[in-house]
A = this chain, B = another copy of it.
Amino acid sequence: MNIGDVAERADLPAKTIRYYEDIGLVTPARDPNGYRNFTETDLHRLTFVARARTLGFTIEDCRTLLALYDDVGRASADVKRVAQDHLDRIEEKIAQLHAMRETLSDLIHACQGDHRPDCPILSDLARTAYGGND
């Protein structure tokens, strides 16, 4: 398979696949003309990575997960730990985003959004760090 076919079947840009080769996630063979020649296994690894990426795993996580996938003697506990760590990071991010959302939506609701300059959003941003404790 050429890179175009793989790109379509793995639903990944060809650029990304070349990048994944660069960083060693796949190592496709080469035709005499220099074209990459992917096997079904290569494609499978790429769809694996694509799926992991949509779940938010980092490339390093993907590398680890691929290694575990290749290791028939793996312990599922190792996989679970990678996933749990990742989930923890996601929870943390969600919490941060929730905090931002709350503040932002409060400010947006408080803002008239008209032609006048007065704006609680700017007032909030411009508040000093000691804004009201004294």
**Stretch in contact with the other chain, from A13-21, A23-31, A103-111:** A103-111
Is the CB–CB distance between B122 and A108 below 8 Å?
A: no
Residue of B nearest to A82 (CB): B121
Q: Is A1 interfacial (CB-CB < 8 Å)?
A: no
Complex interface: chain B residues within 8 A of A117 (CB): 71-76
Size band of the A side of the interface? 35 or more
Residue of B nearest to A107 (CB): B83
The 8 Å CB contact of A79, one of B51, B100, B121, is B121
Complex interface: chain B residues within 8 A of A54 (CB): 100
Is the CB–CB distance between B68 and A87 below 8 Å?
A: no
A interface, by DSSP: helix, strand, loop or mixed?
helix
From residue A128, how far is it (CB to closest CB) to chain B in Å?
Answer: 7
Complex interface: chain B residues within 8 A of A94 (CB): 94, 97-98, 101
- C-alpha gap A4/B111 in the complex (Å): 35
Q: Is A65 interfacial (CB-CB < 8 Å)?
A: yes
> 8 closest A-B pairs (Cβ-Cβ)?
A80-B113, A76-B119, A77-B113, A56-B100, A75-B115, A80-B111, A79-B119, A87-B104
